[in-house]
Structure 1
Amino acid sequence: MQQHDLYSAVKEFNVLSSKELGSLIRDAENGIIKCTLNGSSFEITVENLARHLVEHISNEVSSLTVDEQHFRNLLSGLRLLHTLCDISSHHLTLERVLAEDMSVQKKMLDSIFHLISFLSQFGEKLNGSSLMVLYSALLSNSMYLSKALISSEWKDIADVLLAHPEVDDFIISAFTAVCVNVNLLRATLTTQRINNSLFHLCESSLQFLLSLCKHMLFRERLVENKELCGGGAVFRLVENTLKLSQYDDPKLSSVVNRLKSKVLSIVSPITCRHYCIVFYFVQGFFSTLQWFFLQMLLLFQAECSSFMDMASTQSKGLAESAVSEVLEVLKMMCFGDLKGHHPRGLLLLNAMKLTEVFCGASRFRTFMVLNLVSFFKYVYLFGVKFL
């Protein structure tokens, strides 16, 4: 197969929806797709498209540089492969190559690992809104491509990733790359459309990590990774996300609150009772004062301090810096302007939950007592207003 034909196929097919590409493959005679692009005709078999696309992506990743055109070419390939994986269960040839051929799956998973590793190392070199959006798109697409390759079930995805020999490096790279992505959100961008794209892509990447961390074995591996917990990568992600400013645009402000809520959920799992409380809070069944003191009770119900237990002396300063941001969120949510139309209940509950985890950790207890004094002062002043 000519390299030119492959580039042409990627350019032609990556913009098609799953339905459109599925119809094109289904209508192919003898498994041969005939296409015309810019006046030039070419033919490609379905099997060659799948196999050579995997090889193409692997080569692109191995030679990747911080270049806008290079990023675009790779992103087009990732999108096309994702679509092929989505429709593979309906096409025997695609299923045989993408779902049953272990060598293809291994090559693609290795490429995803290496791509995320690359993105975690070179984020600071990004200049210009186009490169920032492409970076965010590559990170999100590479993460969810692993889901398309493996399974729709997060437990299966976690099990496969944990079985990979480079899983620890992958976890470190993933958290670092998402942290870079969060930092990009502070940039002043040229258009609202680019802003929206950057924020939503970052949210999807953070959601990927959160979905994996909901599974016990993956969380245990995360906690055991001293470079993440002891080295501070988790706390750095928490701190940087909580430092994101609020926006006048209610849509962006809502995304920021969701980002903060998700990153706190990674460190401090939410139990069913918290979701019930959120429901009642959103529905307005509790008065402000009743709701507030109910949250205060949660501060003293620590359930898990595994992240604190694994934190080394070197990361204590970073952990304290992160929890200081959590306390600022508590003050803002409890005593700031609550007139916004976007939901904030889950963010506040997650902030409370993480605070209680720190309260239950012996090495951070003194720090928490000293820093909660001012918060409790606000609590009592707030309560006196209702007496």
Structure 2
Amino acid sequence: MTVLLQPKHLISAVRSLQWRNSLEMHKILKENEDFCICYNPGEESPKKVNVEKMVGMLPLHLTAVLMTPKGDDKFQYLLSGIRLLHTLCDLTSRHPKLEQVLLDDVKLSGQMIDLVIVTIVALGGNRKEQCYTDRESLLDATLVASCLYLLHSFISPNSQDLVQVLLVHHKVDVFIDGAFGAVHNSVRSLNKKLLTRRDDLTKRVGAPSDGAISAHCQQAEAALQFLHSLCQHKLFRDRVAENKEICRTGGVLMLAQSILSLAIAPEFVGATGIIASISRMKAKVLSILQHLFEAESVSFLDVVASAGNLDLAKTIASEVLKLLRVGLSKASMGTPSSPYPMGFVLLNAMRLADVLTDDSNLRSVFTEDLSMILSAVFCLSHGDFLSMLCSSELSSREDDATLDYDLFTSAGWALSVFSSFVATPQFKLSFQNNLAMASYAHQRTSFVIKMIANLHCFVPDLCKDDDRNLFIKTFMSGLQKDPTTILLNILPGRSYTPVAERGNGVWRNLCSLLLHAQSLVPNSLTTEDLVLLRVFSDQLKKLLLAEPEENQVPVKDIQGTGGNLSAKEPRKKPLNLNNAEASDNSDVRIEGATTKQGVNEEMETVQRLNERDADANILETSGSDTSSNRGKSPVDQVKGGVSGDGKEDERAENYPGFENQRKKRKRSIMNEDQMGMIEKALAAEPDMQRNSGSIQSWADKLSKEGSEVITASQLKNWLNNRKAKLARANTTWQQKPFTDQAASSRNPKTVESPMRPDGLRQGKQVTLWDKDIGDEIGKGIVLSTDGEWYGLNLEARKLCVVDVMELKRADLWSTMTIPYGSDDVGRTFGEAKSRFGVMRVAWDANKLEY
């Protein structure tokens, strides 16, 4: 008979029906026209329940059970109810009545979302002060994952649709805080199980089995994977970054710290499935952090610092350094791939390090340790270095996978644990579209270069004075140490260059990296990063080649750099690794045009490749790649790198964990008119970023001129990014040319960039004129005087490419039309700046004054 749905009847129905899968329930409902189902078929008086009515009551009923203060088994019952709801949601495509109730009833959908949020908040609280058994902690972990994936069941399997629904919910911030806290609790209880020693197992009742730990790993990984899928979307990660409670309590960072510090007892070392699951979790949390630290709406690290949690962020940075040390050691060794996908741990650690080394809050944490790690990598023998960083075909690579989470199966297994231990469910691993080998290799190399560029770049007002030259000094110091004490001692001694030959070996490796890096532009590497790598190599060369004149002989330009890297090399003596005086006296900071060679002399590297002579072919590596590039000229190698890997780069762009490298990390939050306003204001108040009152005032003004509200924090970040970009792109034209008396005395003959008959050359400071109206336009620096530039033959048309640093009419800079404009380079000064990050234009040579 059909019964009235009182709480006691509903409880009995849930406990019974949650064991039926969707296929079984479909058959029963199909056979019963009244849409009822019997939930006690073995008893003398069978009772039926109307499924449609039960569904309408279930969300509020489960919420009420959760709010009950007592009840030892309420979490078991709650998991049973969520499991049943999932099964019923799975039936909506076959039964219109269920679809109408579960999916179309807005009120019921709201109740289900509230149920998930309330449950997640309860699981995210500090429940760990009580002594929970291993089975209860597994139940908690399963309940966290099941709650989160229930959202997919009744909203959408598409994370983008889910994000849109969650963001309009009035409790979205409560959900975010609770979700990160709940996953953190799952990881904490997992860590306790992983650290259990074999000696303790015999003394404890209910000690975790390998199967229970494996299941707990899968639950924690599934829950983290859910958060990771949400953070792939810009709007959601911006909301997380703006969540003050998350920043105040350090929720995200605490979760990251717990995952990155996961360790296992010796008896679990052979459990490859558990180890792989932990590794994939580390890869995913690194990706989450990278997304948050690059959030566009607010500087997550600035908010964390203001909340007093910067020390926690520094702890995360230390964990990232450990992963880099381990990952680069294994990459050097070329270890065979694991039978299980381990996730992109090294690549994601490098991506995060790229972000953090470019941030003033944490850059100093990385400088010393990362400099040492990089110096050890450059101490590798030439063959090992090439195979690691200058090849498109590696001996091994990382692979990632996504858990195909089955809520019904995993919840059922966790519930069955309370009666008896059964076999661990084998969750399926759905492999992603992994990066092609060449794309993975290029990504890894590009991040090494980006980290070098970030650490070598000195930005006034954002960096401390102690940071001047610190990277190259530490790098030089690292070259004098035993690399086996820096990287993991897993490589034979022969893998490193002998001490007596180390200076020459390091320089040889750097030359090969420079040559290979040219082929990575623009698909995997920006010209800006390549320029900074070349500047670093210039400075390092001068420190290594500080030898008496009689011990040096001219060598050919093995890098194909057009002459500006031609150097003198010792005939017999090794390169100098102890040149402390030169290191102290060398001003290697990259501010404006203060580098010894001048950053602007390097900016046309890629455009001039076709004009290189054949001297680069003397490189003993037969090119920058040990396999696919062998025997090719440098120009052919670059062409192959740019065009031949196009499909691989397309795959890299489509892969969710890897954004297109050609895109800037941060988009502009302002339109051209707003940028024109703030640029004019900066002309009168260049240190605006130090005046909080002025920043707030201008944020309010700018918000009225665009479609988006600009906060004071956003504007401050934009100003800091602008200052850093200007310094990195060498756009402070007023600074005096760099001179180095010590370097001049050692190398009296310097090679200057080519000068045209009209006297123009790279780095020349010029005034731009419009002779038709007889008026000065502005001032700038010559970037290029020869070759092709976006279809313009500079020499034939007597043009120069100029980086404009100052416009006389700053109030009109964004709308002023430029000569030789196009869709590629822009048609106004404002469009040119948006294309290149600096007002880069082609100008008639006869309209330049110098």
- Which bracket does the TM-score occupy, shorter chain normalised? 0.7 to 0.9
CA-CA distance at 1:38 after TM superposition: 4.7
Indicate conservation of the 8 Å contact 1:24/1:33, yes or no. Answer: yes
Partner of 1:252: 274
CA-CA distance at 1:344 after TM superposition: 4.0
Indicate conservation of the 8 Å contact 2:272/2:340, yes or no. Answer: yes
Give, in whole Å, the separation in 2 of the partners of 1:13 and 1:345. 38
Give, in whole Å, the separation in 2 of the partners of 1:355 and 1:335. 16
Give, in whole Å, the separation in 2 of the partners of 1:65 and 1:162. 33
Residues 231-246 of structure 1 aligned to structure 2 (within 5 Å): 231-246=249-264
CA-CA distance at 1:321 after TM superposition: 0.2
Indicate conservation of the 8 Å contact 1:175/1:234, yes or no. Answer: yes
Q: Deviations over 1:109-148 (max 9, x none)?
A: 1111111111111431351111011101111111111221
The size of the alignment, in residue pairs, is 355
Indicate conservation of the 8 Å contact 1:304/1:357, yes or no. Answer: no
**TM-align CA RMSD:** 2.3
1:307 to 300, 312, 316: 300
Q: Deviations over 1:297-339 (max 9, x none)?
A: xxxxx97784324322411100000110111111122225845
CA-CA distance at 1:386 after TM superposition: 5.4
Partner of 1:326: 320
Q: Which amino acid aligns with 2:362?
A: F
RCO higher in 1 or 2 (8 Å CA, sep ≥ 6)? 1
Check 1:97–1:345 CA distance in 2 against 1; reply closer, same or farther (3 A cut). Answer: closer
Give, in whole Å, the separation in 2 of the partners of 1:119 and 1:378. 45
CA-CA distance at 1:53 after TM superposition: 1.9
- SS of corresponding position for 2:40: strand
1:267 aligns with 2:317: no
Give, in whole Å, the separation in 2 of the partners of 1:129 and 1:304. 38
Q: Which amino acid aligns with 1:315?
A: N
Indicate conservation of the 8 Å contact 1:232/1:315, yes or no. Answer: yes
Q: Which amino acid aligns with 1:308?
A: L
Indicate conservation of the 8 Å contact 1:22/1:87, yes or no. Answer: yes
- SS of corresponding position for 1:90: coil
Give, in whole Å, the separation in 1 of the partners of 2:289 and 2:39. 49
Partner of 1:183: 188
Residues 55-204 of structure 1 aligned to structure 2 (within 5 Å): 55-63=60-68, 67=72, 69-124=73-128, 125-188=130-193, 189-204=207-222
CA-CA distance at 1:221 after TM superposition: 0.6
1:22 to 20, 26, 44: 26
Q: Deviations over 1:145-174 (max 9, x none)?
A: 122121122111111111111111110111
Check 1:345–1:81 CA distance in 2 against 1; reply closer, same or farther (3 A cut). Answer: closer
User: Rg bigger for which structure?
Assistant: 2
- SS of corresponding position for 2:184: helix
- SS of corresponding position for 1:185: helix
TM-score (norm 1): 0.85
Check 1:20–1:382 CA distance in 2 against 1; reply closer, same or farther (3 A cut). Answer: farther
Give, in whole Å, the separation in 2 of the partners of 1:131 and 1:191. 14
Check 1:213–1:126 CA distance in 2 against 1; reply closer, same or farther (3 A cut). Answer: farther
Partner of 1:215: 233
Partner of 2:357: 359
CA-CA distance at 1:365 after TM superposition: 1.5
CA-CA distance at 1:19 after TM superposition: 1.4
Q: Which amino acid aligns with 2:241?
A: V
- SS of corresponding position for 1:152: coil
Tell me which protein shows more strand as a share of its residues: 2
Check 1:51–1:163 CA distance in 2 against 1; reply closer, same or farther (3 A cut). Answer: same
- SS of corresponding position for 1:238: helix
Q: Which amino acid aligns with 2:217?
A: F
Q: Deviations over 1:211-248 (max 9, x none)?
A: 11111110111111133245422111111101011532
Give, in whole Å, the separation in 1 of the partners of 2:192 and 2:96. 46
Q: Which amino acid aligns with 1:259?
A: M
Check 1:109–1:374 CA distance in 2 against 1; reply closer, same or farther (3 A cut). Answer: same
Q: Which amino acid aligns with 1:256?
A: I
CA-CA distance at 1:55 after TM superposition: 2.6
Partner of 1:294: none
Give, in whole Å, the separation in 2 of the partners of 1:66 and 1:382. 62
Tell me which protein shows more helix as a share of its residues: 1
TM-score (norm 2): 0.40
In structure 1, the gaps of 5 or more residues are 271-301
Q: Deviations over 1:251-279 (max 9, x none)?
A: 00100110001111112249xxxxxxxxx
Partner of 1:289: none
Indicate conservation of the 8 Å contact 1:244/1:256, yes or no. Answer: yes
- Structure 1 window deviating more from structure 2 (13-22 vs 71-80): it is 13-22
1:376 aligns with 2:374: yes
Q: Which amino acid aligns with 1:74?
A: L
Give, in whole Å, the separation in 1 of the partners of 2:126 and 2:29. 38
Indicate conservation of the 8 Å contact 1:8/1:37, yes or no. Answer: no
Indicate conservation of the 8 Å contact 1:264/1:350, yes or no. Answer: yes
Q: Which amino acid aligns with 1:319?
A: A
Check 1:310–1:130 CA distance in 2 against 1; reply closer, same or farther (3 A cut). Answer: same
Q: Deviations over 1:172-210 (max 9, x none)?
A: 111111111111111234211211110000011001100
In structure 2, the gaps of 5 or more residues are 194-206, 383-494, 498-850
Indicate conservation of the 8 Å contact 1:46/1:93, yes or no. Answer: no
2:48 to 43, 54, 69: 43
- SS of corresponding position for 1:317: helix
1:228 aligns with 2:246: yes
Partner of 2:809: none
Q: Which amino acid aligns with 1:173?
A: G
Partner of 1:9: 13
CA-CA distance at 1:89 after TM superposition: 2.5
Give, in whole Å, the separation in 2 of the partners of 1:229 and 1:195. 31
Give, in whole Å, the separation in 1 of the partners of 2:348 and 2:295. 14
Give, in whole Å, the separation in 2 of the partners of 1:118 and 1:185. 18
